[in-house]
Every structure is written in C-alpha cells, then in structure tokens.
Amino acid sequence: MSASEQTNWQSVHDEVLRRIHTREWKPGDQIPKEVELAEQLGCARATVNRALRELAAEGFLDRRRKAGTRVATHPVRRAKLDIPVIRLEIEGRGQKYGYGLLLTERRTPTPEICANLGVSAKSDMLHISSLHLADGKPYMFEERWVSINTVPEIVDADLSKISANEWLVLHAPYTKGDISFSAVLASELEAKILRTHAGAPLFLMERTTWENDAGITSARLLFAPGYRMHSAI
C-alpha cells in the first residue's frame, strides 16, 4: 500500500471518529452507507471499507451484514497485542539476551494440543522447550508445539541458535490467534528451570495461532517471578 493510500484511509478513519466523538453520530445511530461516505469524502469505496473495518476492530462501530453499520452503543477500546520476539523484548529493556534449547522432539500431540490446534492425534508435530535469559537470569520458560504439516520448514531450522519464537515470527505469518493469561504456582520442574521455589506464583501466557484454518503453533510461556506485562489501549 502506498503512502498516499495509507493517508487516504487514515483520513477517512479520523473523520468518522471525529463525527462519533462530536456526537454528530450518536451511539446506536446508523451511519451512511459506504457508497455515500465515499461520495461525501471524495475517495474510493474500498478506502471507506478499510477505515470502517479498522474502527469496528477498535470497538467504535458495530457492523452487521445486511443490517448496516452503527455507532457502537457501548464503545470498548480493545488492546492490540502483537507477538513479540522475546530476544528483542529483553534487549529493549537494556538487558543482555541469552537462550538455551532444552528439548526438541518430533512426536504426536497430546489430547490438549489436539484440542487447541484442531489437529488429529496422528498429526506430525514438533515439541520444543527452551529457556530465555535476561542478564544471565531466567526470564521465560517456553514450551511449544508446532505443526509440521503447516510449517514443514521448521524441521530444518537450527533451533539451538534461534528460538522457535523468533523463527516463527520471521517465517510463519498467522491470520488469527487466541491468547489467555493466568497466574499459576510453579511445579518442582518449573521452579528448577526458573530458579525459584516450588509453589512460587508465576505469570502464564498461553497462545495459539493459525494460518486460516490450519493450526501453526500452541505455546505455553511461563515467566519468572517479577514479570510485568504492559500494553497500550
């Protein structure tokens, strides 16, 4: 997309948002159709469509097929979470990054992974566990399953030199995913890996991504005590 096109849809986005904020369009109001807006703002309908999709994703508009587009009755700002490269996250904190591959094995998935990724019990999977370090101290313990059917190239990747997290961000773009957060108590093994005590409270992030309907990876990311997550809204 060219810079002019980017500015064009962003300008439409900003104008629609201005009308919502000034109550020109009130909560629950149906806004003009895309064709009408395109005529009003002097741009292509596709440009309007892109802007409205963004505003719907941000929680300002309610778009329903055949029912038109309305201003959300109760607008909710949604935080956008990108999948970070852990190495860059640690280096961005001004700390020295370290990484160690603990396990890599090619095997069939567990029932939980079958459910998470929508794969069969006979699927060809790569099971990986690794430890990420910050200034020589444990930062995050990563346990991950990757579908070899979806991402066959990972079989040839040297995961002793590059983490599965970073390799997948670089080589396996995803179209959708889900993420959950929880607090858990460290098991004896997890405590040993993260250099803490059994029963210590830990921050757990579980993330699954797909390429359309094909599961890519399911990861269990366990952070050492003291980890704090920050996201803009």
Q: What is the CA radius of gyration of the chain?
A: 22
Residues 8-43: pLDDT tens digits? 888 999 999 999 888 899 888 999 999 999 999 999
Kindly list the distances between the CA atom of residue 124 and the CA atoms of 52, 130, 143, 156, in Å, as whole numbers in the listed order. 40, 20, 17, 15
Model confidence at 7: pLDDT above 50: no
Structure tokens at 176: 């959708």
Q: How many CA atoms lie within 13 A of 57 on its CB side?
A: 10
Structure tokens at 110: 């567990």
Give the predicted TM-score (pTM) of the model.
Answer: 0.68
Q: Please tell me the chain's helix, strand, coil percentages from 3-state DSSP, rounded to the nearest 5.
A: 30, 30, 35
Q: Which residue has the tokens 């003291």?
A: 226
159 vs 177, residue with greater confidence: 159
Mean pLDDT score, 60-88: 79
Model confidence at 93: pLDDT above 60: yes
The pLDDT of residue 38: 92
Mean pLDDT score, 161-175: 91
Q: Write out the E strands in 26-77.
A: 61-64, 68-71
H/E element holding 217? strand 214-223
The pLDDT of residue 142: 97
The pLDDT of residue 79: 53
Q: Which residue has the tokens 């179209």?
A: 175
Provide the percentage of residues in the chain whose pLDDT is more than 70.
92
The pLDDT of residue 64: 86
Cβ–Cβ under 8 Å, residues 214 and 132? no
Mean pLDDT score, 98-102: 97
Average pLDDT, the chain: 89
172 vs 229, residue with greater confidence: 172
The pLDDT of residue 77: 57
Residues 187-196: pLDDT tens digits? 999 999 999 9
CB neighbourhood size of 157 (10 A): 19
Cβ–Cβ under 8 Å, residues 134 and 99? no
The pLDDT of residue 78: 56
Q: Work out the pLDDT band at 106, boundaries 50, 70, 90.
A: very high
